[in-house]
Amino acid sequence: MVQELGIREEFMDPNRETETSYDFLDEMRHRFLKFKRQKYLPEIEKFQALAIAQSPKVMVIGCADSRVCPSYVLGFQPGEAFTIRNVANLVTPVQNGPTETNSALEFAVTTLQVENIIVMGHSNCGGIAALMSHQNHQGQHSSLVERWVMNGKAAKLRTQLASSHLSFDEQCRNCEKESIKDSVMNLITYSWIRDRVKRGEVKIHGCYYNLSDCSLEKWRLSSDKTNYGFYISDREIWS
Amino acid sequence: MATESYEAAIKGLNDLLSTKADLGNVAAAKIKALTAELKELDSDNSDAIQRIKTGFTQFKTEKYLKNSALFNDLAKGQSPKFLVFACSDSRVCPSHILNFGPGEAFVVRNIANMVPPFDQKRHSGVGAAVEYAVVHLKVENILVIGHSCCGGIKGLMNIEDDAAPTQSDFIENWVKIGASARNKIKEEHKDLSYDDQCNKCEKEAVNVSLGNLLSYPFVRAAVVKNTLAIRGGHYNFVKGTFDLWELDFKTTPAFAFS
């Protein structure tokens, strides 16, 4: 079933049936060569060094949304940020068992030894909107999206308690922010993260990108040395 | 108290430089480096936060403010044509290597760019992404991109047959999705070096993910209707190349036995 087409010339054959394949190939070739011309070749030494090993200092957990690529919005260059992207930038707690997200967390923290973890959420998140509009809580989730976003249930409940008088959109904005907090708190359910944060080896940050007004709100989860708890600090809004 | 020892240290340095003036440049360079190092230790001013502040400001001034029509539209909604699976590796962001701009690609990034088979109970993260992209956003293309020197694939290749799980509970559990790729490479390419085997496994694991995509009913339906194409890719950053291939899937007219 899998047909490996290694030779570009095969696609150039005018008799080939699927013309869409040829256009697509052209577009992808154009995209890659632009990267190669504008970034890869001008910085070839850097890329050769990176080819030997990556040592990013940052890990980002972002949303899969096409408008919020962390590299694009936060300016990360190749080699700088180990990036996880899933629907609604959710981090599930350790007690929920293995997921794609916590396997990447494990690799980044224990093997790559990143020094910073950033959970980046954003406005107008479709995943959070699905969470907020999901009616049936009896466990009969009809869709995969609903099943996944229900990991943000606690954020939804807090949002509804605090802001049920607001419009649906405004509630979604609040839920997006509450969900980032939950994901950040879920990070420290992993002992190998919590220990490193306490020792000052890893810093955890939350950030919220509002794509209507291009502003970024960021804060840090600091470790309280007196009572072994955590608190939010260094809150800033960049706009 | 810190100031006292600092003052004493500076006095010591000045005394030295007054007798050996030619060391002035050396001292200046080292002091600059020390200042930068101390800046990094300051929690409010951490390197990473400075980095993203600069990055975000550059994004806003060079991209956002110069394309307000595009970004105003994007604020209302997204309609990307691509769903892309790429590895979380810091060197392989699809926005860089395939020049995807805002709004163009719904991107999932995980270890070794894996797509697990359709499962209503497990792996709901990837399932949600595929469902959202195919059913809600109605993307036209799915692209699964592997890459050279993939740590996840190395991990997969290193798993012993029938061994008990090691300390890395989550990683091994995840990369095992590509187990059939590993088995195939170990069987068919016994003669190749470890590095060459890993390289082949990187591509074969993409094929496993492409096959797994077809286990999602809504993906299969869209592929059969010809509204969705799924393809595999491999980015080699050692050589600076990109391979692209297709998954050929069709049903022939039925032969009736009677």
Mean pLDDT of B156-176: 76
**What pLDDT is attached to residue A14?**
41
For chain B, the average pLDDT equals 89
DSSP A169-205: HHHHHHHHHHHHHHHHHHHTTSHHHHHHHHTTS-EEE
Mean pLDDT of A50-70: 95
Under 8 Å between Cβ of B223 and B214: yes
Provide the pLDDT confidence category of residue B174 given band limits of 50, 70 and 90: very high
CA distance B6 to chain A (A): 24
Q: Bridge partners of B143?
A: B84, B231
Give the C-alpha separation, A104 to A83, whole Å. 9
Q: Which of B95, B110, B242 sits opposite A100 (nearest CB)?
A: B110
Mean pLDDT of B47-72: 94
Chain A hits for B80, CB-CB cut-off 8 Å, are 66
Q: From edge to edge, which strands make up the β-sheet containing A203-210?
A: A2-3, B241-247, B229-236, B141-147, B82-87, B105-110, A81-86, A58-63, A116-122, A203-210, A215-223, A230-238
Provide the pLDDT confidence category of residue B34 given band limits of 50, 70 and 90: confident
CB spacing of A57 vs B47 below 8 angstroms: yes
Is the alpha carbon torsion for A134, A182, A239, A62 positive or negative?
A: negative
Provide the pLDDT confidence category of residue A98 given band limits of 50, 70 and 90: confident
Give the number of other Cβ atoms within 10 Å of residue B103's Cβ: 18
User: Which residue did the predictor score with more confidence, B44 or B182?
Assistant: B182
Q: At residue B138, what is the residue type? A: K
Give the C-alpha separation, A61 to A183, whole Å. 9
Q: Among all residues of B, which ones are annotated catalytic?
A: 87, 89, 91, 147, 150
The token duo for A138 is 């009896």
**What pLDDT is attached to residue B29?**
85
Quote the DSSP letter at residue A80. Answer: T
**What pLDDT is attached to residue A136?**
64
Least confident range of A216-225, B37-46, B115-124: B37-46
Q: Does residue A9 carry a pLDDT above 50?
A: no
Mean pLDDT of A34-61: 94
Q: Does residue B44 carry a pLDDT above 50?
A: no
Give the C-alpha separation, A22 to A8, whole Å. 10
- CA triple A209-A71-B140, angle to 5 deg: 90
Provide the pLDDT confidence category of residue B161 given band limits of 50, 70 and 90: low
Percent of chain A with pLDDT over 90: 74
Distances (CA, A) of B119 to A92, A143, A226, B64, B144: 18, 11, 45, 39, 19
Chain B hits for A74, CB-CB cut-off 8 Å, are 51-52, 55-56, 59
Q: Does residue B110 carry a pLDDT above 90?
A: yes
Under 8 Å between Cβ of B49 and B57: no
Mean pLDDT of A15-38: 77
Annotated binding site of A for Zn(2+): 63, 65, 122, 125
Considering A219-233, B12-26, B143-157, the range whose residues carry the highest mean pLDDT is B143-157
Q: Bridge partners of A81?
A: A58
Under 8 Å between Cβ of B171 and B155: yes
Q: What is the pTM of this model?
A: 0.85
User: Which residue did the predictor score with more confidence, A99 or B121?
Assistant: A99
Chain B hits for A31, CB-CB cut-off 8 Å, are 98-100
Decide: residue B110, CB within 10 A, 0-12 exposed, 13-18 middle, 19+ buried: buried
- CA triple A115-A199-A220, angle to 5 deg: 55
Mean pLDDT of A13-18: 40
Give the C-alpha separation, A25 to B52, whole Å. 34
Chain A residue with CA closest to B173: the answer is: A98
Residues B129, B134, B139, B142: what is their CA dihedral angle, to the nearest 10 degrees?
Answer: 70
A-interface mutation test, from B37, B109, B122, B218, most A Cβ less than 10 A away: B109
Quote the DSSP letter at residue A66. Answer: T
CB spacing of A69 vs B126 below 8 angstroms: no
Mean pLDDT of B62-79: 95
Please enumerate in sequence order all residues whose Cβ is within 8 A of that of B199, keeping only pairs 6 or more positions apart, or say none: B148
Mean pLDDT of B2-17: 83
Quote the DSSP letter at residue B134. Answer: I
The token duo for A226 is 């007196």
Percent of chain B with pLDDT over 90: 67
Decide: residue B218, CB within 10 A, 0-12 exposed, 13-18 middle, 19+ buried: middle
Give the C-alpha separation, B142 to B130, whole Å. 9
Under 8 Å between Cβ of A63 and A89: yes
Q: Does residue B193 carry a pLDDT above 70?
A: yes
Distances (CA, A) of A69 to A108, A180, B166, B194, B235: 19, 16, 33, 34, 19
Please enumerate in sequence order all residues whose Cβ is within 8 A of that of B134, keeping only pairs 6 or more positions apart, or say none: B83, B142, B216, B218, B219, B222, B228
Mean pLDDT of A132-141: 72
Q: Bridge partners of A216?
A: A209, A238
Mean pLDDT of A160-189: 96
